[in-house]
Amino acid sequence: MSKKGDKWNIYYKLENNHYKFIRFWRGSDGSFYVEFNRLHRPLPQQQFKFNIYFEDGRFTSRITEKIDMKTRTDPIRVSYHTTGTVNYHGLERNTIYLEELTNITRENTFFMISIPSISSLDKESEPLNSQSQVIPIENISDQRINIYLSILPPKLSEPEKIDGLLMACDFQLATFVVVGDYDGRTFNFGEQVPERTFLFQSPHEGHYSSPALSENDAFLRYKKIIYQTDEAIILEPNGEGALRMIFIVEMRIPPFVKVEFENSDHIIKSVRRSKVDIWFEVYDSRKKAYVKKAEEIAIKSTFLDARFYDDDEVPPEGFI
């Protein structure tokens, strides 16, 4: 998978046509996002509750409750956060808690999409870009398919042996897996709902009753894995010339900081502090200008002070 922030579009290919399915991307804190790639039409929405049971040698389903919902046009999106918290957007669903993304050890299936047919998806009219992946559909009838989205451990040895595998994408922390099966061979949801109904299902409960990690712990563990270090991390200036220092552990309070540069004319300004990181800009006191080029910044040493003071607005001498 490419760098964080890149959005990958997944298409189905059927009879030389590309049909939009989902897009997915990774946030700066390691969180994983999936969005159903379909026009947001103001269509009627209902919530179904199914009873799944075994009959005549196979599983099938029956609707036990049907509730009319308010019409929504915002995108249907799932956010699987580094903490293990899974939120559902554009749908009325409970938040669930699965494994944290820094320690995936088993299957974490977080969403199911039942589509009436591949051709019921929106057809792509523009050329595909490099951030696209195509799932070819061959030798099958255009019928209802149930598609399951899961997070599995990273670097699976033989993902192709997963039954019904449509796609597997390793993104360093874990593997994003898409599996599908014919609805008519499994749950027969299509027999219970109008012909062109899209169904979206999320687990009622996750593996845990609360997040496996706090947001700060998850953030720091993720950065240590990505940068492969147990030391403080200082990132190069971003587009606005601000550097970011990420700590080894979460501090008791947002710490004061002192930075010594090889160039004695350089000082830090515009500091933004938290318990896990500090953003700062480098100012050249002789040139009266901010330094925005990474190659012009050479840091000799850094110091942090997270002690409690009577006046926590006044930093110790030399700190900011």
The pLDDT tens digits for 9-49 are 999 998 889 999 999 999 989 999 999 998 766 667 788 88
Check if the beta carbon of residue 65 is closer than 8 Å to that of residue 50: no
Confidence at residue 74, expressed as pLDDT on a 0 to 100 scale: 83
Indicate the pairing of strand 8-14 with strand 132-136.
Answer: parallel
Quote the strand ranges of 30-136, DSSP E: 32-36, 45-55, 58-69, 77-80, 85-89, 96-97, 108-115, 132-136
Q: Name 84's bridge partners.
A: none
Of 134, 113, 181, 123, the closest CA to residue 12 belongs to 134
Query: In angstroms, rounded to a whole number, what is the distance separating the alpha carbons of residues 249 and 308?
Result: 17
Residue 301 CA to residue 312 CA, distance in Å, equals 23
Instruction: Tell me the whole-structure pTM to 2 decimals.
Output: 0.87
> Mean pLDDT across the stretch 123-127?
92
Please choose, from the candidates 218, 98, 193, the residue with its C-alpha nearest in 3D space to the C-alpha of residue 153: 98
Sign of CA dihedral 258, 262, 268, 272: negative
Residue 144 has pLDDT above 50, yes or no: yes
pLDDT digits (tens, 9 = 90+) for 222-270: 999 999 999 999 999 988 889 999 999 999 999 999 999 999 999 998 8
β-strand partners of 234: 245
Nearest CA to 146 out of 108, 179, 176 is that of 179
In whole angstroms, what is the distance from residue 189 CA to residue 257 CA? Answer: 59
